[in-house]
């Protein structure tokens, strides 16, 4: 199979070729690995490559699931897989190995997704950019190598955008699927709390903020992936509302006439770039033309600064747990170069957070969730900018200087429309809403009521029909 044909198809399209025996999993894997060595390497998007081993796995693969047996990438987020060590982008956690797989990669492989490498992340997955020192430099935006690819699933978004794979694993604890999806011009859905399993080695991530999923070039690939990985896991502390029989079948139907709130401004008068507002305006017009009731609205009143602080405190507390657990296992003291400066500061700051403060953070998330759910009684969907600015230049969100809280305040002014929906647990997706004259993607976000991934996916598919984006494949080099 030639690269151009491989890249012209989404995951389900490749699966169809497999089902018709027009191609083998090994041939697809060879294409993906070739692209990984060129385009993926040019962007510094991959780590823990297992090329020869994965070719052998593909050669002996028995077709299964919706995707049959296509190449796939796991995020370097610590999700356990026996074939792939992990680092979470940290020199301290480098080459962590696992004795057994977590539930999620088992479900990925049952769906016919064959991993062959991991994708790069910022240290501890705690930034909306992917510039980890552990990876020897930043992961570049495939549309402009001077800019950020987003984070923390920056490697995954870059790899999908440049056609290494049509779909890749991501996770989202504050926008980590949606931010890189916006920065790289691909589709990224954050599911409802409890929809996707996180076990069996942990019950929740970051105080219930985090969830796993995928980034893809097409909505139908994300729908098929959610069909495969979604569903309650025995012993999980959270459960999402009952899902439809098939998200993939659901997106074949129009969503009906929806009442959609449009947000153009952010809390605390945080500025929103005109390109981001224009993308929202463009999509709002498309939605009106499709027959939906589109209503200009202001975001509900919340204490946004308190939310930013709560999010930062939960992250800092998790740094302490990660670092101290590693040090306890190795019996070593923390070395000066084990952590990047902002994360080292976050570790020291995290040790000052009391149990009462941590509980206050969780209560803050719950209060925000109730406020948003009350607001959404009048709406089916919220349309927002994905980001307040275009992807920033590399170095703006660096962890190499400044304090942890200085970084978090910058994040709060960039990913303003992201972390709030981790606090509420609502499903939210970023999709390409427009492109600048310079060729940069501009994302917009669709947010649904808790448990209504079906509506978010249906509306995303409707927009995809009228303004397709999957044909846009970056060509770094």
**Order of all β-strands in the sheet with 187-190:** 167-172, 211-216, 187-190, 428-435, 441-448, 381-385, 259-262, 293-296
Read off the tokens for 273.
């770039």
Q: Is 246 a catalytic residue?
A: no
Using CA atoms, how far residue 15 sits from 25, 27, 54, 68, in Å, is 9, 12, 18, 5
The residue from 86, 90, 148, 152 that is catalytic is 152
Q: Is 351 a catalytic residue?
A: no
The H or E element containing residue 250 is helix 247-250
Q: Is 393 a catalytic residue?
A: no
CA dist., res. 311 & res. 291, Å (int) = 38
The answer to whether the CB of 275 falls within 8 A of the CB of 390 is yes
Using CA atoms, how far residue 252 sits from 192, 195, 234, in Å, is 21, 21, 31
The residue from 75, 153, 322, 460 that is catalytic is 75
Long-range Cβ contact pairs of 402-406 (< 8 A, separation 24 or more): 402/341, 402/342, 403/342, 403/345, 403/349, 404/312, 404/316, 404/342, 404/343, 404/345, 404/346, 404/349, 405/312, 405/349, 406/342
The residue from 77, 176, 322, 460 that is catalytic is 176
Four-point Cα dihedral 98, 103, 107, 108, nearest 10: -40
- Computed on alpha carbons and rounded to an integer, the radius of gyration of the chain in Å comes to 20
Residues with catalytic annotation? 75, 152, 176
């Amino acid at each position: 199979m030639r690269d151009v044909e491989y890249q012209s198809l989404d995951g389900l399209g490749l699966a169809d070729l497999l089902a018709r025996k027009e191609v083998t999993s090994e041939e697809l894997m060879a294409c993906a690995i070739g692209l990984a060595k060129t385009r993926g390497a040019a962007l510094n998007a991959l780590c823990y490559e297992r090329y020869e081993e994965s070719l052998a796995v593909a050669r002996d693969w028995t077709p299964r699931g919706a995707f049959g047996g296509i190449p796939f990438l796991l995020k370097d987020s610590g999700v356990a897989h026996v074939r792939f060590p992990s680092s979470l982008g940290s020199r301290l956690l480098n080459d962590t190995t696992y004795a057994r797989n977590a539930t999620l990669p088992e479900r990925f492989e049952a769906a016919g997704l064959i991993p062959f490498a991991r994708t790069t992340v910022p240290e501890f997955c705690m930034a909306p950019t992917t510039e980890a020192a552990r990876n020897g430099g930043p992961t570049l935006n495939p549309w402009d190598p001077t800019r950020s690819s987003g984070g923390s699933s920056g490697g995954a978004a870059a790899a999908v955008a440049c056609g290494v794979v049509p779909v890749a694993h991501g996770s989202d604890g504050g926008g980590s699927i949606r931010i890189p999806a916006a920065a790289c011009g691909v589709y990224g859905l954050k599911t409802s709390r409890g929809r996707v399993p996180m076990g069996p080695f942990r019950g929740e991530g970051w105080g219930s903020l985090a969830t796993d999923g995928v980034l893809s070039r097409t909505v139908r690939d994300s729908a098929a992936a959610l069909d495969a990985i979604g569903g309650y896991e025995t012993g999980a502390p959270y459960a999402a509302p009952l899902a439809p029989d098939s998200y993939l079948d659901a997106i074949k139907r129009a969503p009906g006439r929806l009442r959609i709130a449009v947000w153009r401004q952010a809390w605390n008068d945080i500025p929103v770039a005109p390109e981001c507002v224009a993308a929202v305006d463009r999509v709002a017009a498309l939605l009106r033309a499709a027959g939906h009731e589109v209503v200009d609205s202001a975001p509900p009143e919340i204490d946004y600064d308190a939310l930013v602080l709560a999010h930062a405190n939960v992250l800092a507390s998790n740094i302490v747990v990660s670092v101290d657990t590693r040090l306890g296992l190795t019996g070593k003291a923390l070395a000066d170069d084990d952590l990047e400066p902002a994360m080292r500061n976050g570790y020291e700051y995290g040790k000052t957070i009391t149990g009462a403060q941590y509980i206050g953070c969780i209560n803050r998330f719950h209060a925000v969730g109730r406020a948003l759910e009350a607001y959404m009684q009048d709406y089916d969907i919220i349309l927002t900018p994905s980001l307040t600015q275009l992807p920033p230049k590399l170095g703006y969100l660096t962890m190499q200087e400044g304090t942890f809280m200085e970084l978090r305040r910058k994040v709060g002014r960039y990913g303003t429309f992201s972390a709030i929906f981790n606090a509420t647990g609502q499903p939210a997706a970023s999709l390409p809403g427009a492109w600048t004259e310079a060729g940069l993607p501009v994302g917009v976000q669709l947010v649904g009521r808790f448990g209504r991934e079906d509506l978010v996916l249906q509306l995303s598919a409707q927009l995809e029909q009228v303004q397709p984006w999957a044909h846009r494949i970056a060509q770094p080099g």
